[in-house]
Structure 1
């Protein structure tokens, strides 16, 4: 077994903290912090996933009001031990080119496009953590035979948990966090026979 590189060793006995991510230039791209543990996206990204994230980015940028920006692959500092990196987010934060993370109060919507290696985290762990942090909207996008299916959740403030707000196939129309209309069938590449 090969020894771990020095940068993979936690800087203290308590493990990793949110600010440590900014001091890990050797870490692979898309490194997250979940419960004080580094999580790496090590498997190759599927074309479906990357294409869908790009198409969602463009569609949401076209519809977002002037005070809302679309962020891609940026972390959210939920607390000192959690800094997940969703595929997309909608934020009210002013643009700062040097910024590496957002706070939950700056995030309106988090979107995770589920991959086989992220399925458990996206469907359970992140769902719970984003809700506990007070992020008002969460979408979990699944691959159903090559077509996107969007599971939409809204924060139920009295309980601090997400409540299901619908499962969308073919088309998605939502009034929050702003008026959003998506033709889901147009978001995936056409297959050639």
Structure 2
């Protein structure tokens, strides 16, 4: 039996987190917050919450999925990444979104739920609970009709698709490993791209 090594302290850097006003921050505060918070963050119940660093696989999966969806999205839909959804004092930031074109401008930081047709979360080791539990609940409560969760299965994308039920919550609509064929939120028939770098 070997003696356990003493744990060394984890080194870090200081990140300025602004003090929330009474009632907390909201989506309207994002333009000012991104000027002072030197890291990726989201708003959760009016508080600034730092986001876990993304893995290389996560970033590549996000890129290839974005471009694959752009190739088949209708003209009135924009496929974008890492923009917030305005839930008031909570502003989650899905990895990929399909948004109504009329809601998009050059300076868009977030979108209203009514304009979001699809929210996609790509699961990383540090986001499993958030992406599998918290995000679906938030998006369903905001009435976002379609939610996808993308998992890493031996470095390949597996896409779990969900649709909003009339009574709330999501119902699973499929698990896709090689080809993604759906008619909602718009017609999609693509080979699931390989994640490579």
Question: Does the alignment reach a TM-score above 0.5?
Answer: yes
Aligned residues: 184
Larger Rg: 2
Picking from 64, 87, 107, the partner of 2:116 is 107
Hey, what does 2:147 align to over in structure 1? Answer: 138
| Alignment partners' CA distance in 2, 1:181 and 1:28 | 39
Hey, what does 2:72 align to over in structure 1? Answer: 63
CA offset digits 1:116-147 (Å, max 9, x no partner): 11111111111001011010100000011111
Q: Does 1:22 align with 2:31?
A: yes
Picking from 42, 51, 55, the partner of 1:41 is 51
- Equivalent residues in 2 for 1:1-193 (5 A)? 7-24=16-33, 25-43=35-53, 45-78=54-87, 80-94=88-102, 95-157=104-166, 159-184=167-192, 186-189=193-196
SS of residue matched to 2:126: coil
Query: How far off is 1:14 after superposition?
Result: 3.3
| Alignment partners' CA distance in 2, 1:29 and 1:68 | 29
Report the TM-score when normalising by structure 1.
0.87
| Alignment partners' CA distance in 2, 1:187 and 1:135 | 27
Query: How far off is 1:29 after superposition?
Result: 4.5
SS of residue matched to 1:49: helix
Query: How far off is 1:169 after superposition?
Result: 1.3
Report the TM-score when normalising by structure 2.
0.85
CA offset digits 1:149-192 (Å, max 9, x no partner): 111100012x11111111111221111011112322x33128xx
Stretches of structure 1 that go unaligned for 5 or more consecutive residues are: none
Query: How far off is 1:42 after superposition?
Result: 4.2
Query: Are 2:27 and 2:110, in contact at CA under 8 Å, matched by a contact in 1?
Result: no
CA RMSD after TM alignment? 2.0
| Alignment partners' CA distance in 1, 2:45 and 2:21 | 15
